[in-house]
Structure 1
Amino acid sequence: MKTHAFRPQQEENGKRYRGIHTLKFRFFSCVALTAAIYIVVIILLNLLFFQRYYLVEKKQNLTKVYQHINACYTGDVTVLEDELKHLEKNNNIRISILNQYDQTLYDTIYQHDRNGRNFVMEDPLRQTIYVYNSEELEKKGYTFSSLQDSDGQVAYIALLGKLQNEDTVLLRIPTTALKEERSVNLAFLIISGFAALFACLVAGFFIGGKFTRPITEMTQLARAITRLDFSKKYTGTYHDELGELGDSLNKMSKDLESSIHELQQMNEQLQREIEEKQRIDDMRKEFIINISHDLKTPIALIQGYAEGLRVGISDSEEAKNEYCDIIIDEAKRMNHLVRQLLDLSKIELGNTVPNKTEFDAYELAEAVVEKTQVMWQEKQLHVDVSGVGNEMLYADYDMLERAVMNYMTNAIDHTPTGGHIRIQTAEDAKHIVLTVENEGSQLAQEEMDKIWDKFYKLDKSRTRVSGGGSGIGLSIVRAIMHAHNGGCGVRNVEQGVAFYLTLPKHT
């Protein structure tokens, strides 16, 4: 009932964590959000700082070119002409070298002619020189300035530097492509950003599934455990916290299964004990009824015949003797029943310790047959002891004789007139087995264990033959054999039933 009680709640919980509430979706969303933030930050940085970064990078490039020219320049431009062209080509700059009279010694566009005649610098370039920071030029040897176009935008970044021989070098990098590069770069960043975002979404989907798969598996395992289904196990191969959690769930499932199995066994054992107690109580109640009947009948007879003797119901001596014989016989029957109960209690409580001696098995069988001769001859039974060997038994003779006697009287009672009873022995490496087999009805399988319990009566009719019918005889046999560290049992044979007892060999 408890299992069905929480199952709807489980299903409700299972539905609660679907869609946008799943860990996989949240992981996917975090990856997507992180990628989007990253791309937006890149675009904002490009918009806000790309121009500054571009100008700083160009200034550093101009500084390196100036330092290289200053280190190599000796005053002869023709020596450095090839190197200057190489620098111009690789760095996309315009180089001008002027003497102290502002005459152009070298310029990318205005080259000196073949006769060595120099050109005077154009006014725009001359004006550019005049706007430089002269203090910075004197202090550092070079200074920066910019040349703006008609729109007020920076057209050139220029460096003016003093060379070793007091000549001047003017380096300019055009910045007209900055605006175009910035637009192209921004467009490229947007396109590549969306492509990267898509790639991150796809990767996040598959990676999220990979990372959440063991959690989903452990969730299913936990739900199975709540349903007391311990067949599922975590099979992941992660050697991290998830792996440790999965191993812990497996161990918890195994321990819980073991604990529940132990509880079930204990409950089953307790149930068996309760049923056994109930069975014993029922047997005890039945026993009390049987004993009450068995005692009531002789007590009533004794009381009736005693009162008859007192009132002199008969004056003949023969009738008086018959009354006395009946009273004595019924008193003996009561005494025998009470003694059986006392002997059984003593043996079970361990108050009777076997006095073990060695004796011949055949002699024991002969003695039992002789003492029961009147009983089996009255029913015209045939008793065969040819199967008994000369095995030496080590036991309490009186107690073992009593056990075999109970077997014998039980066989006589249940063997039909003219039937056969066989007593035989056998042995193995450790035990000697004595069997009393009789013809007659076989036992039902469910009765074979019950007949050894005290208070249990196989024959429900309240017979008074030989003082039997109390259900104590076989209980005494079991108690005697238990005191001897032996055993007893019964099995059906072809024509009847065989009761046997086993004794350890004396070593």
Structure 2
Amino acid sequence: MKIRVKIFLVMLSVVFVMVGGFAITNSVYLEKFYVTNKKEKLLQVGNSILDPNYIVDFRNLEMQNNAEIVIKKLDQLDKFYFRRQLTIDEIIQIKRGFKVGKPTFKIISFKDYRGKALVLFMPYKSNRYIEILTPLSLIQEGLDVSIQYHIQIIILALVLGCVIAFIFSKAMVTPILEIKEITQKIAKLDFSRKFEGDRVDEIGELGEAINKMGETLKKNIDEINKVNAKLRVDIENEKELDKLRKEFIAYVSHELKTPIAIIQGYAQGLIENVATEEDKNFYCEVIVEEAYKMDALVKELLLMSKIESGYFKMENADIDAYPLIQDLMDKYSTQASDLVYTGDTQINVIADEKYLDRVLDNLISNAIKYGTDDKIVNIEVKDMGDKYRFIVSNKSHNLTEKDLESIWTPFIRLESSIGKEGHGLGLAIVAGILDKHHSEHGVYLSGENTVNFWFDLEKVSESTLNEKNELSEDKGEKNEEE
């Protein structure tokens, strides 16, 4: 059974008990109460007649109390016996009461208009008594009117009780049903519903507690989901790392196998004197060249290992990047490609000069190595307000958007790089160095087969530049004085 029905039935039961009790009291005790009250009034009338200080107006007393007052001789009591209205014992009892001054009430039936009546017998003077009579028909008439009136009150109270029970049960159950719906949604991990009642009782406190519980659960579940998402990413990364580790072992084994085999072969030839005096120098050059390749590979692997393990450290400072670009353009000026620079001649950024040079060197050498068509490499530096954007561009009709998704991954060599020198670590090292600089970077295709590698570096603030300029001027003046 639902709680709303229970509350309604309980309240309805209370109403029925109260109304039923009222009805029983009205039917059983009302007549007794009415008669008792009438006896008291008749006694008051009798006492007022006996009071010597009271001027008796019998007519007025009879009208006020709906009574008939008669003073009779004592022997007239016997008439009630002869009329069979009282027994001899009742008459003797009344007379004994007179002797001690005690009044007596009797209900006597008359055959005339008076019908059944309540009679008070009271001693008066010697050999006389007062007889005060009031018809019970008047009492019964009042009782009937009273009962009819109270029956209407009972019916009205019953109807009002049912309505109040219904309204109260609904008012009590509605917020409970709302709380039930909220908890059902919480059970389904839906925290959108809130208890919005403004009650200040225990139900309001319960609703507020459920709201707080929902918020806490939502917060904890969100945190768990974040942790799970991170855990899934970590697991995927671990799988990818394990895959890369296997590929790394296979790749390094392959990369080292060739130069080692060449070094072994040429060294064996030198040991066995199979080469002429003229060929010995060539053998030595080949051995040295292959050793340099192995040394470069090992250094790149060590640098990549430091970057991935977190032991890679940089010393950022306020530097001018333009001289680095100019030196690299001079370095590669003898290559087949044309290098074109666009930008300021003073580029003050916060970076590690050594590793920024490594980044620019890798990007420019890659652009030269993998460039196609007109062999033009564009180097552009844009002023972006609080930072500089470096862009290295070249034509490359071999790259696709899909290639760009994995271009920063270690040991990945695209089809366009097959047959060219390299180990697939250059761009991975570039990405690692830029990450340590907290630099945003990326690559995109534009125009007609133009690939653009870009990265941002924070500019040196104007106040820092002014301080450096002032310091340089002070040093210049000091040197002139000396």
- For Structure 1 versus Structure 2, the TM-score category normalised by the shorter chain is 0.7 to 0.9
Contact kept? 1:384, 1:421, Cα under 8 Å: yes
1:478 matched to 2:431: yes
Name the residue aligned to 1:231.
192
Name the residue aligned to 2:383.
427
Deviation (angstroms), 1:368: 0.8
Identity of aligned residues (%): 28
2:120 corresponds, among 135, 155, 158, to: 158
Using a 3 Å threshold, how does the CA distance of structure 1 residues 433 and 221 change in structure 2: closer, same or farther?
closer
SS of residue in 2 equivalent to 1:295: helix
Name the residue aligned to 1:499.
453
Deviation (angstroms), 1:383: 1.2
In 1, the alpha carbon distance for the partners of 2:393 and 2:377 equals: 6
1:363 corresponds, among 297, 306, 323, to: 323
2:358 corresponds, among 388, 402, 407, to: 402
In 2, the alpha carbon distance for the partners of 1:432 and 1:156 equals: 120
SS of residue in 1 equivalent to 2:70: strand
1:88 corresponds, among 57, 62, 65, to: 62
1:23 matched to 2:23: no
Contact kept? 1:154, 1:175, Cα under 8 Å: yes
1:328 corresponds, among 288, 292, 295, to: 288
The amino acid that maps onto 2:426 is: G
Deviation (angstroms), 1:215: 1.6
Contact kept? 2:340, 2:377, Cα under 8 Å: yes
User: Which residues in structure 2 correspond to 1:140-219 (within 5 Å)?
Assistant: 143-149=103-109, 155-158=117-120, 160=122, 162=124, 169-176=130-137, 193=154, 196-219=157-180
Cα RMSD, aligned residues only: 3.9
Using a 3 Å threshold, how does the CA distance of structure 1 residues 425 and 66 change in structure 2: closer, same or farther?
same
SS of residue in 1 equivalent to 2:241: helix
Contact kept? 1:463, 1:469, Cα under 8 Å: no
In 1, the alpha carbon distance for the partners of 2:350 and 2:170 equals: 78
Using a 3 Å threshold, how does the CA distance of structure 1 residues 345 and 121 change in structure 2: closer, same or farther?
closer
Deviation (angstroms), 1:425: 1.8
Deviation (angstroms), 1:71: 5.6
Using a 3 Å threshold, how does the CA distance of structure 1 residues 394 and 238 change in structure 2: closer, same or farther?
closer
Using a 3 Å threshold, how does the CA distance of structure 1 residues 63 and 492 change in structure 2: closer, same or farther?
farther
SS of residue in 2 equivalent to 1:319: helix
In 1, the alpha carbon distance for the partners of 2:349 and 2:338 equals: 25
In 1, the alpha carbon distance for the partners of 2:173 and 2:353 equals: 79
The amino acid that maps onto 1:302 is: I
Using a 3 Å threshold, how does the CA distance of structure 1 residues 493 and 64 change in structure 2: closer, same or farther?
farther
The amino acid that maps onto 1:93 is: A
The amino acid that maps onto 1:148 is: I
The amino acid that maps onto 1:338 is: V
Deviation (angstroms), 1:363: 2.5
1:383 matched to 2:339: yes
Q: Spell out, residue by residue over 1:188-212, the C-alpha distance to the aligned partner (whole angstroms, 9 max, x if none).
A: 7667656644553344334323322
In 1, the alpha carbon distance for the partners of 2:27 and 2:351 equals: 111
Unaligned runs of 5+ in 2: 465-482
The amino acid that maps onto 1:333 is: K
The count of aligned residue pairs is 451
Comparing 27-36 and 121-130, the one that deviates more:
121-130
In 1, the alpha carbon distance for the partners of 2:363 and 2:29 equals: 113
Using a 3 Å threshold, how does the CA distance of structure 1 residues 161 and 300 change in structure 2: closer, same or farther?
farther
Contact kept? 2:341, 2:378, Cα under 8 Å: yes
Deviation (angstroms), 1:491: 3.4
Contact kept? 1:230, 1:253, Cα under 8 Å: yes
Using a 3 Å threshold, how does the CA distance of structure 1 residues 246 and 353 change in structure 2: closer, same or farther?
closer
1:268 matched to 2:248: no
The amino acid that maps onto 1:493 is: S
In 2, the alpha carbon distance for the partners of 1:31 and 1:489 equals: 75
Name the residue aligned to 2:469.
none
Deviation (angstroms), 1:285: 2.3
In 1, the alpha carbon distance for the partners of 2:350 and 2:225 equals: 44
Contact kept? 1:439, 1:497, Cα under 8 Å: yes
SS of residue in 1 equivalent to 2:29: helix
Deviation (angstroms), 1:413: 2.3
1:341 corresponds, among 293, 301, 305, to: 301
In 2, the alpha carbon distance for the partners of 1:442 and 1:32 equals: 88
Contact kept? 2:374, 2:395, Cα under 8 Å: no
Using a 3 Å threshold, how does the CA distance of structure 1 residues 394 and 182 change in structure 2: closer, same or farther?
closer
Deviation (angstroms), 1:440: 1.6
Using a 3 Å threshold, how does the CA distance of structure 1 residues 47 and 308 change in structure 2: closer, same or farther?
same
SS of residue in 2 equivalent to 1:354: coil
Deviation (angstroms), 1:332: 0.7
Contact kept? 1:407, 1:499, Cα under 8 Å: yes
In 1, the alpha carbon distance for the partners of 2:277 and 2:94 equals: 168
Q: Spell out, residue by residue over 1:88-138, the C-alpha distance to the aligned partner (whole angstroms, 9 max, x if none).
A: 23322222356xx679xxxxxxxxxxxxxxxx9994499999667678667
SS of residue in 1 equivalent to 2:103: strand
1:33 matched to 2:13: yes
Q: TM-score, normalised by structure 2?
A: 0.78
Contact kept? 2:74, 2:127, Cα under 8 Å: no
The amino acid that maps onto 2:354 is: D
In 1, the alpha carbon distance for the partners of 2:417 and 2:208 equals: 66
Q: Spell out, residue by residue over 1:458-489, the C-alpha distance to the aligned partner (whole angstroms, 9 max, x if none).
A: 526884634x133x222332343455555543
SS of residue in 2 equivalent to 1:258: helix
In 2, the alpha carbon distance for the partners of 1:224 and 1:161 equals: 86
Contact kept? 1:157, 1:175, Cα under 8 Å: no
Contact kept? 1:354, 1:399, Cα under 8 Å: no
In 1, the alpha carbon distance for the partners of 2:81 and 2:45 equals: 19
SS of residue in 2 equivalent to 1:465: coil
The amino acid that maps onto 1:231 is: S
In 2, the alpha carbon distance for the partners of 1:58 and 1:444 equals: 116
In 2, the alpha carbon distance for the partners of 1:413 and 1:311 equals: 39
Q: Spell out, residue by residue over 1:274-322, the C-alpha distance to the aligned partner (whole angstroms, 9 max, x if none).
A: 2222223222322222222111121122222323333444x43343333
Q: TM-score, normalised by structure 1?
A: 0.75
Contact kept? 2:333, 2:339, Cα under 8 Å: no
Using a 3 Å threshold, how does the CA distance of structure 1 residues 489 and 356 change in structure 2: closer, same or farther?
same
